[in-house]
């Protein structure tokens, strides 16, 4: 199949969270299966030193696009990914993507991704590439389905193209004031936008994608069920319910080339299920590196997360200090985000020196070290579309403690101490008592060495590889094609 994917992120070059991991792994797996997958991402300033060696492409240089009263010049470069032969296409437009971060708070944020969306379509046109599937990801590229039905509807190149929108997180919808409409060039299709929103002075990019994509997917079956209801649907549940069979949940996979302790090059010692001695080394080195009191017998809990409300950190910052006063354990936190959480973890580190370590920032190597060195991994999310770290944790023999929601519920199985089955601890209610129960239970089970060992082994044997999940996407893509 011919598949064009457009995304704001692509790991490891441009990533703030799971979106980047998923697009990179899914596209490369599609490519390995023999599909012609072409991914377009912005050529952010931070990618310039990534060693991608981007090359200009004939016919895709010195292009321009009118965006309202602004004429934007851009070109598309082709890069080769290290260790693979899938081409990665980079949208070069310094005035939009030459900024420090991937996302910005500036007034033209919507335009940065309108350009990406339209450039993905125009890239296909100039390459004479007729995709069977145009795969859009999150709000940034969610206008593509409507563009295909309006501005570019004249082009028979797209006669057999079906659009798929994957929602990686419905909490980010791309809502902009209605004046942006004048910059979208929707070729008279403005009446296709949600009219009640327009009356209220708003345009919602993700909502528009849900209305016009041929298929909408999200990143786990449980999250797909949850966002059909008002509690998790963030105002879009009604539209999702209307999609019926045209809305499906597929669990994300794990890229075990990157995330497997037996060959992970970023961790201090490699190990596997048969010999866990390397894990003990990782724990010791991690504790030393972070200034924690080194004690092999004391359980170490890890957190790697964007520090935002979704991740359940309000519970952590109230429950953990209480528990630390009465139970011996250590905590290693890596993340950045809202200052209220950054400040809370910095204060916790200060108060419990040697027992709590907080590393503020984004650090790929430390994320791997924590997965390998911690005994338990904490993800008490309020909601979690899929979540990747709990699946990484399983492979690293690091027992996940998670809230039973979204992809966490689909990938972690409750421990039964009587039979030794299960892979982690799940708690249901999003409240302090729920989290406290989960932590106390985990710390209690940890004392039973044989049982704990068995649970680690159970998790390490689970397989969430992309091979299986990619096949699901391919099935859906084929079904879409045959429905024409
Ligand atoms: P989300 O997409 O909501 O952030 P996921 O669990 O799906 O959550 O994906 C998070 C990804 O980002 C994981 O690969 C995780 O290791 C990584 N990550 C998050 N925060 C950091 C950080 N501070 N440093 C390094 N990696 C991080």
104-127 pLDDT, tens digit each = 999 999 999 999 999 999 999 999
365/478 same-domain check: no
Cβ–ligand 1 distance for 352 under 6 Å, the answer: no
CATH code of residue 359: 3.40.50.2000
Given pLDDT bands bounded at 50, 70 and 90, which one contains residue 484?
low
- Other C-beta atoms within 10 Å of 165: how many? 27
Distances 477 to 30, 64, 159, 376 between C-alpha atoms, Å: 11, 32, 15, 38
Q: In the chain, how many domains are there?
A: 2
332-368 pLDDT, tens digit each = 999 999 999 999 999 999 999 999 999 999 999 999 9
Total-model pTM:
0.94
173/286 same-domain check: no
240/345 same-domain check: no
Ligand 1, residues 17, 254, 361: which to mutate, most atoms within 8 A of Cβ?
A: 17
What lies within 8 Å, CB to CB, of 376 at 6+ separation is 299, 300, 301, 302, 398, 399, 400, 401, 442, 446
457/478 same-domain check: no
94/211 same-domain check: yes
446/471 same-domain check: no
Residue pair 40/119 in contact by the 8 Å Cβ criterion: yes
Cβ–ligand 1 distance for 407 under 6 Å, the answer: no
Cβ–ligand 1 distance for 364 under 6 Å, the answer: yes
- Other C-beta atoms within 10 Å of 204: how many? 21
219/288 same-domain check: no
Q: Which two tokens stand for residue 389?
A: 């770290």
Q: How far is the CA of 149 from the centre of ligand 1 (A)?
A: 35
Domain that holds residue 325: 277-463
The yes-or-no verdict on residue 483 having pLDDT over 70 is: no
Cβ–ligand 1 distance for 305 under 6 Å, the answer: yes
430-461 pLDDT, tens digit each = 999 999 999 999 999 999 999 999 999 999 99
| pLDDT score at 189 | 85
376 lies in some domain: yes
Distance CA 56, CA 477 (A): 31
- For tokens 């409409």, name the residue: 181
């Amino acid at each position: 199949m011919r598949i064009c994917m457009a995304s704001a992120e692509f790991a490891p070059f441009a990533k703030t969270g799971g979106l980047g991991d998923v697009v990179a792994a899914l596209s490369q797996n599609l490519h390995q299966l023999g599909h012609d997958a072409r991914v377009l991402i912005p050529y952010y300033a931070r990618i310039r030193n990534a060693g991608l060696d981007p090359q200009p492409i004939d016919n895709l240089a010195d292009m321009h696009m009118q965006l309202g009263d602004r004429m934007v010049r851009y070109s598309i470069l082709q890069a080769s990914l290290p260790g693979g032969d899938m081409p990665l296409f980079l949208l070069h437009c310094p005035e939009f993507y030459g900024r420090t971060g991937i996302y910005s708070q500036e007034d033209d944020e919507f335009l940065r991704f309108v350009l990406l969306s339209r450039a993905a379509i125009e890239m296909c046109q100039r390459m004479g590439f007729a995709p069977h599937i145009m795969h859009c990801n999150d709000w940034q590229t969610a206008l593509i389905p409507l563009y295909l039905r309006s501005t570019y509807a004249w082009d028979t190149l797209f006669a057999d193209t079906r659009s798929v929108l994957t929602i990686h997180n419905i909490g980010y919808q791309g809502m902009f004031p209605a004046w942006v409409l004048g910059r979208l060039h929707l070729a008279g299709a403005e009446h296709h936008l949600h009219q009640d929103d327009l009356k209220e002075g708003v345009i919602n990019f993700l909502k528009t994608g849900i209305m016009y994509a041929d298929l909408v997917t999200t990143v786990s079956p449980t999250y797909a069920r949850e966002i059909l209801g008002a509690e998790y649907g963030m105002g879009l549940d009604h539209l999702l319910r209307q999609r019926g069979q045209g809305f499906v949940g597929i669990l994300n996979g794990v890229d075990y080339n990157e995330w497997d302790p037996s060959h992970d090059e970023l961790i201090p010692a490699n190990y596997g299920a048969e010999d866990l001695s390397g894990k003990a080394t990782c724990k010791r080195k991690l504790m030393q590196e972070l200034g924690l009191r080194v004690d092999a017998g004391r359980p170490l809990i890890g957190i790697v997360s964007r520090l935002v409300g979704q991740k359940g950190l309000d519970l952590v910052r109230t429950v953990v200090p209480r528990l630390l006063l009465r139970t011996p354990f250590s905590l290693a936190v890596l993340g950045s985000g809202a200052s209220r959480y950054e400040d809370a973890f910095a204060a916790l580190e200060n108060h419990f020196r040697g027992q709590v370590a907080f590393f503020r920032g984004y650090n790929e190597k430390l994320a791997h070290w924590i997965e390998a060195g911690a005994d338990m991994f904490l993800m008490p999310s309020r909601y979690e579309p899929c979540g990747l770290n709990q699946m990484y944790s399983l492979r690293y023999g690091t027992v996940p403690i998670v809230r039973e929601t979204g992809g966490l519920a689909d990938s972690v199985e409750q421990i039964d101490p009587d039979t030794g089955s299960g892979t982690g601890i799940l708690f249901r209610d999003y409240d302090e008592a729920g989290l406290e129960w989960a932590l106390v239970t985990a710390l209690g089970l940890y004392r039973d060495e044989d049982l704990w060992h068995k649970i680690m082994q159970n998790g390490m044997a689970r397989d969430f590889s992309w091979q299986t999940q990619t096949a699901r996407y391919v099935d859906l893509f084929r079904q879409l094609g045959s429905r024409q």
